[in-house]
Amino acid sequence: MMKKLLYTLVLCFVAAHVNAGEGGVFNVLTYGAKGDGKTNDAAAIQKAIDAAATAGGGQVLFPAPHTFLCGPVKLASQIEYHIPAGAVLLASPDEQLYTQSAFRENPGEGMVWLWAENLQHASFTGSGSIDGNGISFMGAEEEDAYVLKPFNVRDPRPHVLTIIGGRNIRIHDLHIGNSAYWTIHLIGCDDVVISGITLLNSLKVRNSDGIDLDHCRNVRISDCYIESGDDCICLKNRREYADFGKCENITVTNCTMTSRSCAIKIGSENMDTIRQVVFNNCIIKNSNRGVGIQHRDEGLVEDVFFSNMIIEGRLFSDVWWGKAEPIYITAYRRAAINHKDANWRFPKGATEGRVGQVRNIRFSNIQCTSENGVYVSAESSDKIVNIVFDGVDILLNKTTAHPGGIYDRRPANVNGFVKGSTSGFYFDAATGIMIRNCSVRWGSNRPVYFNHVLESYRVISLSTFNLSGLSARKGVKAIVK
């Protein structure tokens, strides 16, 4: 009997000390969190994080079955943030809580919620949920988008997770999303692994990107499922964070994505260099644009490979950028517009910019089904160089009531919408395009603007080998000028 009592006391002692933080586990309930989904638990969560940091690291635990409502929280290094199944970390809907910009001195593009600077050796784990409470920050719901609430200077919509200058970051298995703005924004981060996450944003929320890699290096993304109103995965170099340099050495594999904008996008913000990037074994479903390189700034995009992909596209309204292009490469100077963030888009003191080069891009073994074809276009032939399409098969069929026969070049210093025929491949200004072992087919619904297999203008050195297909109606297979 005495032995049993002693054993029980030992267990109670160990449990008490583990809950208090000893043994490396820092339970947020121990630090005063209520977990009732109503109380702002930010202060208690911050206490748990600070205690773990003071102890040299450990696990900050958000236990199930609790919902932890909170405003902004600053993260610390050497910590595993663990959210098990049944636990939810929920952003407070109180807009007044969000006061720190996600873009330094630029307050017009959202605030931070869960954030850190110089975060090192941190992980986010568990099969619970991080919920940005995004719909709470929206205006009225319309047919295919929510109205954005007006604001003067500060856009209070929170980004879900913002890490600036991070190193050795791991994000595994979580459910994360319902974001009012970008979901995972990594800036100047090195050595990052994101795997097995489910990222679900409302398809009606504008600016609700999935994963944004901004001036990042050595990043591996794999086995993720992403739905976003805006881009699912986007690589960029924002001007606000110019000090972090290039975005390079990025691999993305085995992901499934859906977007009303562009499922995989490079740009449009790129004032530096994006290079050595591989996307492989991915599925893109029901998206307004599949793969897009949207170059609008003075930087460089080079050495990017896309392979073994299925792309399914369709048209949406003009609220969303894109016109169902399964593959899209454009290079135009950014439009000089009167917009809330216009001053942050150009070099300091400039009112207009210039566009750099896109070169050495390869598409291999890709099956495309959409209402529009591949589109490559630039302001001059020297801006897009050395593009290879190898084993790209395209099926064009009209499936929605939205008007077609249009290409979308927004945001550019020229006409944003270009009317033209819909062809399997449409090229307008480039140097060195190769089409090899590709095909174009047409579905049963062929509007009058469905046209050729290949349409090409102002392309220097265009070569084709084993390009198969007939025009949508009787006539020539290709137009080359």
Longest dimension (CA), the chain: 96
State which fold the 1-227 domain adopts. Answer: Pectate Lyase C-like (2.160.20)
d(CA 342, CA 346): 7
**Mean pLDDT (whole number) for 453-474:** 94
pLDDT, tens digit (0-9, with 9 covering 90-100), for 327-381:
999 999 998 765 555 568 888 888 888 999 999 999 999 999 999 999 999 999 9
- CB burial class (10 A; 0-12, 13-18, 19+) of residue 276? middle
pLDDT in the model for residue 475: 63
Nearest of 332, 329, 318 to residue 292 by alpha carbon: 329
pLDDT, tens digit (0-9, with 9 covering 90-100), for 84-130:
999 999 999 999 999 999 999 999 999 999 999 999 999 999 999 99
What are the residue boundaries of the structural domains of the chain, listed by start? 1-227, 231-481
Q: Are 197 and 255 in contact (CB under 8 A)?
A: no
pLDDT in the model for residue 481: 65
